[in-house]
Amino acid sequence: MRTEVADGSAGYFHEAGFYASDAEFHAMIVPFVEEGVAGGEPVVLCYDERKSEQLRSWLGEPPGVTYAAGNGLYATPARAIAAFQGLIERTVAAGAPRVRLTGGVPHPGNGGCFEGWDRYEFALNTVWARFPARSLCMYDAATVPDGVRDLVERAHPHILTGAGEHRTNNHYEGLAANPHLPVPADPLEASAPTAELSDPSAAEARHVLERTGRGRVSDRVLDELLIGISEGVTNARLHGVPPILVTIWAAHDRVVATVKDQGDGPTDLLAGLVPTSKTMFGTGLGLWVTHLLDIDAALVFAKDGFSLRLRAGATPAPVSQ
């Protein structure tokens, strides 16, 4: 596998760009694609339907360029890492010198939630360090919240300006940085809990969650919530600090559950995002599987303890950060 890239950097090249207009977006994205096509580097464009149509009007459908709109690549951070990494590995194995990826992760400014994607942006620098890949993470400067922009700037070694200039990013904090942004509370958490359990077993937590969630979410989604809460309670009992508190909130079309202990939570910055050699033989693999599911799983680090929060059902309105 080739790891030396044309810009002189070895392995993965991680760049962010903030555009203030369509003209700036054009000036940043079109050269990125055209350089890839000219160099025989497959390019994957991971944008929504509106942005993809805009890109088609500028670029057409050149060989080696794939539009990946609407295929769920950004469903969860863990699934995005797994999907993109598989794509990189297959494409390079087929003979490509390097793969180019560009897209925009969910955040409140584009109608999504940024929980988990803060850790994703930092994790890529470690997880893909050995891969011959170049990614350009694009953010609309007019809509990205200040907290998200600050974290993105800290997570990317390189910055692409609106004028198309590539710069080393002086705000990049390196591989050991703490990527955590505060996780906004779900609106349901402001209401009285439907159920609370103190120091439950995993089986007890599953039983109460199943009884509470039945009929509020689909059976498939409820099964995934049960997997998640079982993993959360098991990890808390094995590695957390008691007491352990399981709290469940339920509306007619949505369920939120938290598993909280008094400890500091996982110390591995990649916990839940990838399977690692440490997690295959200890803890962590189940947490990764939980993050692959079609439910929202968030790690909440706070002064008074650590929580795994699970959410499913109707999506609440995004909370600005």
Q: Which parts of the chain fold into alpha helices (H)?
A: 22-38, 49-59, 77-93, 117-127, 146-155, 202-213, 219-239, 277-280, 285-292
| 320 DSSP 8-state letter | P
Domain ranges for the chain: 12-177, 187-313
Find all residues with CB under 8 Å of 77, minimum gap 6, and list them: 116, 117, 119, 120, 123, 273, 291
Fold classified for 187-313: Heat Shock Protein 90 (3.30.565)
What local confidence, expressed as pLDDT, does residue 141 receive?
A: 97
β pairing state of 158-160 and 166-168: antiparallel
Q: Do 12-177 and 187-313 show the same overall fold?
A: no
CA distances from 274 to 95, 135, 290 (A): 26, 18, 11
What local confidence, expressed as pLDDT, does residue 281 receive?
A: 43
What local confidence, expressed as pLDDT, does residue 194 receive?
A: 98
Measuring CA to CA, which residue among 105, 106, 104, 108 is closest to residue 320? 108
CA 230 to chain centre: 22
Give yes or no for a cis peptide into 157 (omega within 30° of 0): no
What local confidence, expressed as pLDDT, does residue 6 receive?
A: 43
CB 138 within 8 A of CB 104: yes
What local confidence, expressed as pLDDT, does residue 175 receive?
A: 80
What local confidence, expressed as pLDDT, does residue 70 receive?
A: 67
Give the pLDDT of the chain (321 residues) as one tens digit per residue.
Answer: 333 344 545 599 999 999 999 999 999 999 999 999 999 999 999 999 999 999 999 999 999 999 998 668 899 999 999 999 999 999 999 999 999 999 999 999 999 989 899 999 999 999 999 999 999 999 999 999 999 999 999 999 999 999 999 999 999 998 877 677 788 999 999 999 999 999 999 999 999 999 999 999 999 999 999 999 999 999 999 999 999 999 999 999 999 999 999 999 988 889 999 986 554 445 568 899 999 999 999 999 999 999 999 999 987 754 444
Q: Tokens 């209401």 sit at which residue?
A: 191
Phi, psi of 310 (to 5 degrees): -120, 135
Fold classified for 12-177: Rossmann fold (3.40.50)
What predicted TM-score, i.e. pTM, was given to this entire model? 0.89
What local confidence, expressed as pLDDT, does residue 9 receive?
A: 53
Q: How many helices (H) and strands (E) does the chain have?
A: 9, 12
